[in-house]
Structure 1
């Protein structure tokens, strides 16, 4: 569904039996009788020679639901509420990357990171996980490699680059 120039859609972890159990499903959010469902976009089928609509809904874990932010990370992956993203406070390379969660802040009517920074297309973010599957990424005591940005360094590491980058500061 398009609204105000951006696509409105959600994702959630499927809890139904079958091949989708435990997988992310994407589409419209439907909540009924304390349960949550995702209806994938484009549920069209051919029925006796006519194009018809068929509503398919997947029951999802209500705690896993996240709304699409309308933005993509630097690799083109869609950013959803509760994604964990890496970002730099500054464009200077000596600043370490930080991991933070994308959250909807109702009083500002916008998605934010780092508790108060509004999410925007110029942030050069990278999705590294989400708080449902990778909560450990938010609890780390170290920093991210300031060269490749892909490897978490231990909190007591004297280096600012990972072994793969083979450089220390």
Structure 2
């Protein structure tokens, strides 16, 4: 079974665990090993919350939504599936995918599914869009 884990920033530090939000708009990361009768967690910036993809990069670092290798950004959602012979969109898929930062040159501007095949061929996912907002400037 895939581990469901999130991360979010609290006062400049990454917190890891389960994600919860309240009716008054607060967003929490609750440590997963915490046993308590109360909701004890860290209030995090909702824009920094990202889910664990279930994959690790070639350096065994967990890959989260919003992570980047400098060329792609990890996202979750609907993305196009292309025919490599015709370059046309032939279907749509939903799930984890790699969104290219530079969209100026095909086929390197195409979204690709996030899976072990691609992860093992890319550099380390040592950046993210929260600590490196310049990744979103293209």
Fold match (TM-score > 0.5): yes
User: Which position in structure 2 is the counterpart of 1:31?
Assistant: 21
Aligned partners of 1:54, 1:76: CA distance in 2, in Å?
33
> Do the aligned partners of 1:43 and 1:53 also contact (CA within 8 Å) in 2?
no
Indicate the residue corresponding to 1:22 in structure 2.
12
TM-score by length of 1: 0.59
The aligned length equals 111
Higher Cα Rg: structure 1 or 2?
1
What's the offset of the Cα at 1:53? 6.3
RCO higher in structure (CA 8 A, sep ≥6)? 2
How large is the RMSD of aligned CA atoms in angstroms? 2.1
Distance 1:40 1:56, change over 3 A: same
2:94 aligns to what? 109
Matched, 1:6 2:2: yes
Which segments of 5 or more consecutive residues in structure 1 lack a partner in the other structure?
Answer: 15-20, 45-51, 87-98, 141-169
1:55 is displaced (CA, Å) by 4.4
Normalised by the length of structure 2, the TM-score is 0.71
